[in-house]
Structure 1
Amino acid sequence: MADKCVIHIFSQLSRIPHCSGDTEAMRHFLKNFAASCGYRVEIDRAGNVMAYGKGSRVTFQSHYDMVCIAKAPAIELVVQKGWMSAKESSLGADNGIGVAIMLCLMKKGTGADFLFTNDEEIGLLGARDLDLRIRTPYLLNLDSEEFGKVYIGCAGGEDVFVRKDAMFQEAEGSGAWFAITAEAPGGHSGVNIADNLPNAITELAGVLTKNHFLEIASVEGGERINAIPRHAKAIVWSPEGILPVSDSPHIRIEETGKEAGSVLVDGKRLAEALFGFAHGVRAWNRELSLPQSSINLAKVFFVGDEIEIALSARSMANKDLERLVEQSVAGWDALGYSCRREGKYPAWEPVTNPFSEKVLALYRTVEPDASYAAIHAGLECALFAHDYPHLKIASIGPTILDPHSDRERVKLSTVEKVMHVVERIVADLSSI
């Protein structure tokens, strides 16, 4: 059975809206909770919250924002067959379970420091702009999502936004208007990028390209820069007597009854560019058995009279990340798009340290097969390692599947076991 304290507090957190970019209510809750437990609390301009304990040797860290998908932040918890999920929304176990573990430790008066970072899901913004002192020699991040693993490395990332003027003209001749919609499972653009999940934007662009007679009036898709798109939609005009078709299970085509309207001058080229973009894994790391480099075709939307496309690149090595981004920019530049780069953060290249060795040894008292791992996703550890070169860092967490989607779920038995590991770490830092 899962740790009752953790699940009880997580249930409380799920009732407080904390979507990335809208975290004030959760920040207020964390501040008051920490103060009520007797910790000295500081908050910086980036919205990070630090609770300083007495005699601290380790800092626990989690981010308190979540990716809100579908009905979130209206979260209705569902427990079934040992798993917790949310009804028709993302759950927020990423990273709400880590936050709940930290709050349970605080409730017990644990002698440690607790760092709650803000807006991790939209570019590690809190960690990037951290203006609070990490005073302990060790930091344990609780944002990993595979029980039995001690993470000592993660991918770096950078976002690319490409834009081009959207020119319109009236649809010529007689014809009919259709809405073409793509629906896909969605998923985390790092954790799930190698799972061969369909990308709703790519699926939609494929239909628009294959039905070459279509004229495109609008196209939009994607939800978050770090989520594989689950929804995309286009409004199109088709010449009289010709119906758009698709044999994809992810596509729905409906006649709209619209009588007149404008279409994109370069709509066909836009569809071809989206369909032709190589979303997904670009290189594989055999040593770590995970993607080395990948890129997510995340969003397409209109901004005034311009079309914008958002891409999210990741790599386990900083030099590979730079090359991937440069190649992507060069490709879109050749198609006449302007490009800007944002939100770059470094890779945390895998290296063991005395603290990670201690964490692994204590982990094996709970899970004998525990081992080291790295993740093809961003962790704030990368920024902490860069800014605090003498800080010894490791990351652990329970099993969370399909984060950043409405299929997100956490295995409750692993929550209890991770809590046991964390408590053993607090009790036994004497030998390092």
Structure 2
Amino acid sequence: MESILEHFKAITAIPRCSYHTTKMKEYICEFAHSLGFGVHEDHVGNILCHKGAPQVCLQAHYDMVCIGNTHPIEIVMEGTLVKAKNSTLGADNGMGMAIMFWAMEHNENLECLFTVDEEVGLIGAMQFRLPLKSSYLLNLDAEEEGEIYIGCAGGMDVIASLKLQYMPLDEEIKLYEISAFNFTGGHSGVDIDKKIPSAIKALGYELLKHEVLLVSLHGGERRNAIPKSATAIVASKTPLHVEDTRLHVKSLEKGSHTKYIAQSSSIIKALGAFAQGVREWDRELDIPSMSINLGIVSDFEGVLRFDCAARAMDDENLAILAHETVAFFKALGFDAVQEGWHGAWKPEMTLFAQRVQGVMKEFYPHATFKAIHAGLECGELIMRQAKKIEAVSIGPTIRYPHSQREECDMNSVSNTAFIVQNIINTYKE
């Protein structure tokens, strides 16, 4: 599968952070045209490629979560593991794209859909309207080999904001910078039940222990990533020492800041009281039923903003969680809104799913059906088609997505590619 790795290296050389995907879009279109595929692009940047009389449509998203030094991504090989140096790798979903490129080189009857801006709220999938020629959709965004996903969580963003008011600081008051950094981080869906600490929450817990005034506050990297870092500048009448060894305190020069945030108490209460993580467990699926992640806190141009990503395995619980979160922030004086709703993909045992399992069992005898507590595009894509489309999601093993520890096993990539080809072959008969 050396050719798939080469395709992946070519993909990683092209900038494709969410919202900044133009060069990647151009590359996909040029590649598809060079192989004789018809190419259609919609108004948001989704790319639908087809050749011959396809029965199966392969699908992946072409944006990535960019954390660290991603311009360019420096690939590191450790045995069969692919990693990146000081950045996210982008195997989510770049390795799925690489498998699709490989499949496009080897099939005369195939459809491939490349969606845009999945990582920032399934934007491409939610606005996709082009008709698929195929009757079966094979999403390649799952992250554990040997597993067949037939359902996923829905998601909703909750944005809380507070117009800041400032008061003058006493010139003699002590100023400190408290930082939480080098936390592990992780995906706010698939990693939310792994007890990965949040840098924002750790900072919030510490601030609750002290009588301090906030001067500034920021933290987190992405709404859908468990925060790796957070920093607050505070004023204190007494010397400040922190108990949490993961946090660092630095004294600042007196007079370096002249104002503090008048709503400091409400903000610190919100940080400390926000219930980060799993809210409810689904015993039948053995995954979280509801969860929420406070991914970003930002202080910009006089407005403090909290960005939260809520998830649930059914639409009713998602609505409840979103409403509860809005009410929580409003009770503390914030404005709060819901946005970016995408519905849950209810698990369904289709004939296509059973056929995929039959193919996969040749490689993984214990191949199982699962649902995932994260957003997959399948549900959004098939619900918008005029005809009935059956869908499943598979993929190679990717560990620690949305973090600088992200890694992908090339052995599982090879296995996944053969499974994909065998699935395509079953519909040639």
Shorter chain as normaliser: what TM range? over 0.9
CA deviation vs aligned residue, 1:352-403 (integer Å, no higher than 9, x gap): 1011110010000111111111100000012023223610000000110110
* 332-341 vs 409-418, greater mean Cα deviation: 332-341
- On the 8 A contact 1:18/1:73 being kept in 2, the answer is no
- Equivalent-residue separation in structure 2 for 1:258 and 1:247 (angstroms): 24
Q: Supply the AA of the counterpart residue of 1:319.
A: E
The CA deviation at 1:131 is 3.0
Structure-2 residue corresponding to 1:65: 63
Gapped regions of structure 1 (runs ≥ 5)? none
Q: Supply the AA of the counterpart residue of 1:207.
A: E
Asked whether 1:267 is paired with 2:264, we answer yes
The CA deviation at 1:258 is 4.4
- Equivalent-residue separation in structure 2 for 1:24 and 1:331 (angstroms): 39
Of 179, 182, 186, the match for 1:181: 179
Structure-2 residue corresponding to 1:357: 354
- Equivalent-residue separation in structure 1 for 2:318 and 2:192 (angstroms): 16
Structure-1 residue corresponding to 2:197: 198
Structure-1 residue corresponding to 2:135: 137
Structure-1 residue corresponding to 2:208: 209
Structure-1 residue corresponding to 2:79: 81
Structure-2 residue corresponding to 1:316: 313
Asked whether 1:51 is paired with 2:39, we answer no
The 1:87/1:304 distance shift into structure 2, 3 A limit, reads: same
Structure-2 residue corresponding to 1:325: 322
* Correspondence list, 1:1-20, <5 A: 3-20=1-18
The CA deviation at 1:272 is 1.5
* Correspondence list, 1:335-350, <5 A: 335-350=332-347
Of 223, 243, 247, the match for 1:247: 243
* 221-230 vs 56-65, greater mean Cα deviation: 221-230
Asked whether 1:109 is paired with 2:107, we answer yes
Structure-1 residue corresponding to 2:252: 256
Structure 1 stretches of 4+ moved >6 Å: none
The CA deviation at 1:74 is 2.3
- Equivalent-residue separation in structure 2 for 1:255 and 1:102 (angstroms): 53
What TM-score, normalized to structure 1?
Answer: 0.96
The CA deviation at 1:268 is 2.4
Asked whether 1:377 is paired with 2:374, we answer yes
- On the 8 A contact 2:214/2:234 being kept in 1, the answer is yes
The 1:110/1:369 distance shift into structure 2, 3 A limit, reads: farther
Structure-2 residue corresponding to 1:128: 126
The CA deviation at 1:47 is 0.3
The CA deviation at 1:430 is 5.5
The alignment partner of 2:329 has SS state of helix
- On the 8 A contact 1:170/1:262 being kept in 2, the answer is yes
CA deviation vs aligned residue, 1:167-200 (integer Å, no higher than 9, x gap): 1111126222111111211110001000111111
- On the 8 A contact 2:160/2:329 being kept in 1, the answer is yes
- Equivalent-residue separation in structure 2 for 1:275 and 1:21 (angstroms): 32
Q: Supply the AA of the counterpart residue of 2:210.
A: N
Q: Supply the AA of the counterpart residue of 2:323.
A: E
Structure-1 residue corresponding to 2:147: 149
The 1:302/1:377 distance shift into structure 2, 3 A limit, reads: same
- On the 8 A contact 1:301/1:308 being kept in 2, the answer is yes
Give me the CA root mean square deviation: 1.2
The CA deviation at 1:339 is 1.3
* 171-180 vs 68-77, greater mean Cα deviation: 171-180
- Equivalent-residue separation in structure 2 for 1:158 and 1:87 (angstroms): 32
- Equivalent-residue separation in structure 2 for 1:50 and 1:291 (angstroms): 33
- Equivalent-residue separation in structure 2 for 1:334 and 1:267 (angstroms): 15
- Equivalent-residue separation in structure 2 for 1:345 and 1:330 (angstroms): 21
Of 116, 119, 140, the match for 1:118: 116
- Equivalent-residue separation in structure 2 for 1:243 and 1:197 (angstroms): 30
- Equivalent-residue separation in structure 1 for 2:66 and 2:348 (angstroms): 33
The CA deviation at 1:96 is 0.2
- Equivalent-residue separation in structure 2 for 1:303 and 1:342 (angstroms): 20
- Equivalent-residue separation in structure 2 for 1:382 and 1:101 (angstroms): 22
The alignment partner of 2:184 has SS state of coil
Q: Identity of paired residues, percent?
A: 37
- Equivalent-residue separation in structure 2 for 1:173 and 1:110 (angstroms): 74
The CA deviation at 1:110 is 4.0
- Equivalent-residue separation in structure 1 for 2:77 and 2:108 (angstroms): 29
CA deviation vs aligned residue, 1:65-112 (integer Å, no higher than 9, x gap): 000001124210011132111001000000000000000111223411
Q: Supply the AA of the counterpart residue of 1:396.
A: I
- Equivalent-residue separation in structure 1 for 2:108 and 2:361 (angstroms): 22
The CA deviation at 1:273 is 1.0
The alignment partner of 1:373 has SS state of strand
- On the 8 A contact 2:172/2:254 being kept in 1, the answer is no
Structure-1 residue corresponding to 2:410: 412
* 97-106 vs 67-76, greater mean Cα deviation: 67-76
What TM-score, normalized to structure 2?
Answer: 0.97
- On the 8 A contact 2:129/2:384 being kept in 1, the answer is no
Gapped regions of structure 2 (runs ≥ 5)? none
- Equivalent-residue separation in structure 1 for 2:64 and 2:248 (angstroms): 30
Structure-2 residue corresponding to 1:427: 425
- On the 8 A contact 2:266/2:332 being kept in 1, the answer is no
Q: Supply the AA of the counterpart residue of 1:380.
A: E
